[in-house]
Every structure is written in structure tokens, then in C-alpha cells.
Amino acid sequence: MRVILADDSVLFREGLARVLEEDRFEVVGQAAAPEELFEVAATAGADVAIVDIRMPPTHTLEGLEAAVAIRSRWPALGVLLLSGYIETQHVMRLISNGGRGVGYLLKDRVSDLGNFRAAVRTVGNGGSVVDPEVIARLVGKNQDRDSLSELTDRERVVLGLMAQGRSNLAISERLGMSHKTVETHVHSIFGKLELEPAQDDHRRVLAVLSYLRNGLGSPMGPPSGAK
């Protein structure tokens, strides 16, 4: 998988490059500013661009603006945004403009190398990944809504994992339940939330995020070690 890295810190970029290259990713370009990112994206033939939200010159939203722009120009290029802060409005902006292959992770997640590499692959292959802490923040804005009252505790856990982009198989392995049981929970969730079931993980994530954005509910991810 071919990757572009965009961050104004050369040490951070080189660290990411080493982490990815150790797992057979090919880093085909690096950029320290949005203008460089556009130049690299136009010529590198990459599958995914990993972009820091806060880039020069003002270190506010230049990375986000660049991500939205390159998604518009090269819709097949996956974009994984990295941020040191939880900024939920940026998640929704990227998702609403993005189509397939979008992601948003906190920089702290890079320390979990296996999960980070998996997230890059997911986005590069057209899926979606949203940091669990961002999901939790979205949840917090909607906790008083009544529409989740029909969901069981287990269904809320499953919905939280769905919102992280996990497949039914991955959910069954995480929770220690059969694949058929997970499928039953998923069908029940979509029915109760009046959301159409979808086959691929990307559409599942978009459905859950759209559901949250419209203030209809609050899926909760499982606690560490949940079974």
C-alpha cells in the first residue's frame, strides 16, 4: 500500500515512515505544508494520505482544509486525519465530504502500532476509521436522547464497535460471541434505529455517524476486556 505523510514535524513523519515501512507499506511522498501535499498527491499515485489537521502557516485547520480539497480532487485517495485533540466537528466535515476511505485518529493512537497500521490499511482499502474517544465525545453530546431506550446494553456495545469500523467477525472475536449472534444484534440495532443495514464497514460507519450527528442516540463502546 502506497502512503503519503503530511505533517510539519520531520521527526514525526520519519517515525511514521519507519513504522509503516516495517509492515510493508511504501511511503511514496512526504509533505510539511498543504502546498507540498497537493504536489505529492498529484504525482505519487498513493492509496492513502495521512494528514495532520494543524499545519502551517497558522497551525489551525490547514490540514483539514487540504484533506477536504484533495478528497474532492482525487476521490479515490484515502485520507486519514491525525489530531492531538478531539475535534468532533472536523470528523463530520470530512465524512460528509468524503465518500469512501476516510479516517480520524488521535495522535496518541499511533503508539499502538498494530491498531495504527490496521487503520491505515482500512482507509487505504476504502473503509472508515474513527477514534473511539471521538465516538465517546459524540456520544456525550447526545446522552439525554430517548431514542436509545429500546437498545439493550449489549446492542449498545455492538453499536459502539460498529462505529469504530469493525466487521461482524471482528465484533464476535472481541466480545467472545458467535458470528450469528452478532448478526442478530446488528439487524436488531438497524431495525430499532430505522437505519438500513449495509454490507460494507464504510457504510455502517457513515450510518452510525450520521445517526449521532442528527442527535438520535449514543452507542457506547465496550470497556477494556469486555466479553
Q: What is the DSSP string of 28-51?
A: EEEESSHHHHHHHHHHS--SEEEE
- Report pLDDT digits (tens) over 81-134: 998 877 666 666 666 554 568 888 888 777 788 889 999 999 999 888 888 777
- Domains along the chain? 2-130 (3.40.50.2300), 137-213 (1.10.10.10)
Which alpha helices (H) appear in 22-167, and where do they start and end? 34-43, 62-73, 88-98, 113-124, 132-140, 153-163
- Predicted TM-score (pTM) of the model is 0.65
pLDDT in tens, 147-162: 566 778 888 888 777 7
